Amino acid sequence: MKTIFFNSNQVVTCRGSHSKKGSEMSDVGLVDNGSVVIEDGKIVWVGQTDDLESIFDMKNYNIIDCKGKIITPAYVDSHTHLVFGGNREDEYAMRLKGASYMEIMEMGGGINNTVRATRQESEDFLYEKALKRLDSFLRFGVTTVESKSGYGLDFDTEIKQLKVNKRIDENHIVDVVSTYMGAHSVPDEYKGKEDQYIDYMIDKVLPYVVSEELATFCDIFCEKNVFSIEQSRRLMLRAKEMGLGLKIHADEIYRLGGAELAAELEMKSADHLLKASDQGIKDMAKSGVVATLLPITAFSLKEEYARGRFIIDNGGAVAIATDYNPGSCHSHSIPLMIALSTIYMGLTIEEVLNALTINGAAALGLEKITGSIEKGKNGDILIHDCPNYKHISYNISVNTVEKVIKKGEIVYNRV
Ligand code: NIG
Ligand code: FE
């Protein structure tokens, strides 16, 4: 299959093939009047349309006319919890009346509510639900998604969730990166025995997850009344020794020092960071930890937003992701996320585009494979029905994506 995405107003390449830090995030690698050539799933050329005809024999290619439109890399959503049973609409209604996320958790709701529901569902049921959810991600232009376990906590249900991750990756057009997050919450059976739960994950679960290749990353909810810094350090160090990449839910509700820990252990990303300290943010920038910000969660919890502007001004690499989950953020609306990132976190549209593409890919270790429009990378691109890239945020909370292309194939077409 050989296709030319022909004659767009702009190609936003986000080129670099590495995470973009600080002022680098302002550069989207713009090509005016550009075209993109994809052969056998890979990008073979990107450049100005005027130069195209002297290099390629157009009659040998499928031509997709992009006149008046723009092309960007497809989006990478590097933080989701998309495999779960049940729903928590009642908790959302309680929050609207003033209850806090932590109060609901302390009353036995929250993550453990979804744990009970997920334990009851079969693998096939969870698989079918997750496939449908991915269909919806795809319509927003997302072609690579991270998916965490953490709604099982016990051995069988965690493995069930991770197997679902593997099956959806194999059977859905969206690529799925699997993360083991047994340390999402303290299961009822280990309340008050958190250290023993960490031991159990280290001794029983991690070796199985690694030997069966069920996950690429390990993640932990490092938070007051959940897992401490010391517990997080212990689990993460062991996961690293076993070859997993590291992620952390850090400094979301209380400032525990998760950002500092992420820097110390050179984690791939630290996520949330609403309460991260100045020093933690600076340490992360120095260690090359991607700051993954999740503004729809802050919006949904009515919390202060993470300090995106401050992180970038201090040389950090920012990715933005949905955090789609049944509790704190039951939304995977990329357009809403873009609106919140620009209006409340102070990011420019250029920074948002890098955060959603190349830096999302970098947060998953995929920056050489996807997340930018460069020769040799997967042909994962979007065609937007707008005349220039600034319209992606100017159309407030509106989906501008018209066509989604995964590995060179049009997999979604709105027109
Ligand atoms: O990233 N903060 C912890 N974990 C999830 C919430 C999951 C849930 O509420 O079910 C998050 O926001
Ligand atoms: Fe999360």
**Higher pLDDT pick, 227 / 108:** 227
Instruction: Look at residues 189, 194, 272 and name the one whose alpha carbon lies nearest to residue 234.
Output: 194
Supply the mean pLDDT for the chain.
Answer: 97
Q: Which of 249, 254, 292, 337 should be mutated for ligand 1, with most atoms under 8 A from CB?
A: 249
Determine whether the shortest distance from the Cβ of 85 to ligand 1 is under 6 A: no
| Tokens standing for residue 61 | 């290619």
How far does CA 123 lie from the centroid of its chain?
A: 23
pLDDT value, residue 396: 98
* Structure confidence by residue, pLDDT tens digits, 139-166: 999 999 999 999 999 999 999 999 999 9
Cα of 127 from ligand 2 centre, angstroms = 20
How far does CA 46 lie from the centroid of its chain?
A: 26
- Counting from 1 in the atom list of ligand 1, the atom nearest the Cα of 327 is 9
Query: CA distances (Å), 100 to each of 93, 222, 303, 346, 403, in order?
Result: 11, 18, 10, 26, 39
The pLDDT-based confidence of 288 (bands split at 50, 70, 90) is very high
**Higher pLDDT pick, 41 / 106:** 41
Domains and CATH numbers, the chain: 2-73+371-413 (2.30.40.10), 76-362 (3.20.20.140)
- Counting from 1 in the atom list of ligand 1, the atom nearest the Cα of 328 is 9
Considering only CA atoms, which residue is closest to atom 12 of ligand 1?
328
* Structure confidence by residue, pLDDT tens digits, 376-395: 999 999 999 999 999 999 99
**Residues ≥6 apart with Cβ < 8 Å to 34:** 8, 10, 11, 46, 47, 48, 49, 71
Cα of 79 from ligand 2 centre, angstroms = 6
Determine whether the shortest distance from the Cβ of 292 to ligand 1 is under 6 A: no
Q: Which of 94, 184, 220, 320 should be mutated for ligand 1, with most atoms under 8 A from CB?
A: 184
**Residues ≥6 apart with Cβ < 8 Å to 10:** 30, 31, 32, 33, 34, 70, 71, 388, 389
Determine whether the shortest distance from the Cβ of 91 to ligand 1 is under 6 A: no
Q: How many CB atoms sit inside 10 A of residue 234's CB?
A: 18
**Residues ≥6 apart with Cβ < 8 Å to 412:** 138, 139, 401, 403, 404
Q: Which ligand is nearest to the CA of 151?
A: 1
Q: Which of 325, 330, 332, 337 should be mutated for ligand 1, with most atoms under 8 A from CB?
A: 325
Cα of 204 from ligand 2 centre, angstroms = 23
Determine whether the shortest distance from the Cβ of 81 to ligand 1 is under 6 A: yes
Query: CA distances (Å), 119 to each of 79, 116, 290, 387, 395, in order?
Result: 22, 5, 32, 48, 41
- SS3 of the chain: the string is CEEEEECCCEEECCCCCCCCCHHHHHCCCEEECEEEEEECCEEEEEEEHHHHCCCCCHHHCEEEECCCCEEEECEEECCCCCCCCCCCHHHHHHHHCCCCHHHHHHCCCCHHHHHHHHHHCCHHHHHHHHHHHHHHHHHCCEEEEEEECCCCCCHHHHHHHHHHHHHHHHHCCCEEEEEEEEECCCCHHHCCCHHHHHHHHHHHHHHHHHHCCCCCEEEEEECCCCECHHHHHHHHHHHHHCCCEEEEEECCCCCCCHHHHHHHCCCCEEEECCCCCHHHHHHHHHHCCEEEECHHHHHHHCCCCCCHHHHHHCCCEEEECCCCCCCCCCCCCHHHHHHHHHHCCCCCHHHHHHHHCHHHHHHCCCCCCCCCCCCCCECCEEEECCCCCCHHHHCCCCCCEEEEEECCEEEEECC
Query: CA distances (Å), 167 to each of 61, 105, 375, in order?
Result: 33, 31, 29
Q: Which ligand is nearest to the CA of 84?
A: 1
Rounded to 5 degrees, φ, ψ at 398 are -115, 140
Neighbours of ion ligand 2 (CB under 5 A): 323
* Structure confidence by residue, pLDDT tens digits, 62-110: 999 999 999 999 999 999 999 999 999 999 999 999 999 989 988 889 9
Considering only CA atoms, which residue is closest to atom 5 of ligand 1?
328
The pLDDT-based confidence of 17 (bands split at 50, 70, 90) is confident
Determine whether the shortest distance from the Cβ of 328 to ligand 1 is under 6 A: yes
The pLDDT-based confidence of 125 (bands split at 50, 70, 90) is very high
pLDDT value, residue 360: 98
Question: How many alpha carbons lie under 13 Å from residue 371 in its C-beta half-sphere?
Answer: 29
Cα of 311 from ligand 2 centre, angstroms = 20
**Residues ≥6 apart with Cβ < 8 Å to 233:** 261, 264, 265
| Tokens standing for residue 398 | 């509106």
Determine whether the shortest distance from the Cβ of 326 to ligand 1 is under 6 A: yes
The pLDDT-based confidence of 205 (bands split at 50, 70, 90) is very high
* CA pseudo-torsion sign 81, 87, 91, 93: positive
**Residues ≥6 apart with Cβ < 8 Å to 241:** none
The pLDDT-based confidence of 227 (bands split at 50, 70, 90) is very high
**Higher pLDDT pick, 329 / 53:** 329
Determine whether the shortest distance from the Cβ of 252 to ligand 1 is under 6 A: yes
**Residue 130 to residue 234: CA distance in whole angstroms:** 31
Cα of 183 from ligand 1 centre, angstroms = 11
pLDDT value, residue 121: 98
Determine whether the shortest distance from the Cβ of 221 to ligand 1 is under 6 A: yes
Considering only CA atoms, which residue is closest to atom 8 of ligand 1?
327
Cα of 161 from ligand 2 centre, angstroms = 15
Cα of 252 from ligand 1 centre, angstroms = 10
